[in-house]
Amino acid sequence: MIDNTDPRAVRTREKLICAFNEAVLDSDPSTMSVSALARAAGVNRTSFYSHFSSPEDLAIHALSELFDVVGNADIVMRSRHTVSGTEASRRALRDIAGFVEERRASYARLLGPGAAPQLVRAITEAFTGRTVEALERMEARPAAADPVITARFLAGGVLGVIGAWLSGPPGHCTTDELVEALIQCLPGWLIAD
């Protein structure tokens, strides 16, 4: 049902994502019940299971949508040569960091040190999958740079750093400072102009 574009299905998914984002402010995703999420979204359990297999699956979907949007924008900017490679990476990282910063309390539970390992692993896999797609389309990627290995490195590194950043006190490092530090970690060919 995730690919279902029927307006009713889209509204149901949006309600469930909103209910999840509210619930994660107070609860660990591993302790959330489908019943409570469905009730908060104003849908029944059957509708929940039509879209997601678990609260963790819902969390992964919520972040995966972000990765899709960011990845597609990055690819378009690079392919049209509208901005430099560095600026395309900066904008993509700023979008991701800004998204999680706006939902800091929620995403600290999803990506921070206390996050459920299976959830972090699944989110990292989702990020990796989107990154592989983007890397395979890059003209500047050296032939020896395996897209899967590079994507795993980038996803693990970016999400690990963001998780650590979220676990610190708000304001100890601004979003822009975080993005600039991450830019310095990227392979040179990825940010080449």
pLDDT in tens, 29-54: 777 899 999 999 999 999 999 999 98
Place of tokens 């896999």: 125
User: Does the predicted TM-score (pTM) go above 0.85?
Assistant: no
Asked if the structure places residue 193 within a domain, the reply is no
Query: What mean pLDDT is predicted for residues 80-104?
Result: 85
Asked if the structure places residue 82 within a domain, the reply is yes
User: Would you say 94 and 175 are in contact if contact means Cβ atoms under 8 Å apart?
Assistant: yes
User: Would you say 147 and 136 are in contact if contact means Cβ atoms under 8 Å apart?
Assistant: yes
Cα 188–189–192 angle (5° rounding)?
85
The residue among 150 and 112 whose pLDDT is bigger is 150
- 84 shares its domain with 28: no
Domain of residue 39, CATH code: 1.10.10
What distance in Å separates the CA atoms of residue 170 and residue 39, rounded to the nearest whole number? 32
- 70 shares its domain with 46: no
Task: Supply the range of the domain harboring residue 31.
Answer: 7-51
The residue among 92 and 78 whose pLDDT is bigger is 92
- 46 shares its domain with 129: no
Asked if the structure places residue 66 within a domain, the reply is yes
**pLDDT for the residue 65:** 65
Produce one character per residue of 72-103: b if its CB has 16 or more CB atoms within 10 Å, e if not: eebbebbeeeeeebeebbbbbbbbbbebbbeb
- 106 shares its domain with 34: no
* Residue 6 CB contacts under 8 Å (≥ 6 apart), including other chains: none
- 28 shares its domain with 60: no
**pLDDT for the residue 184:** 95
- 168 shares its domain with 117: yes
Domain count, the chain: 2
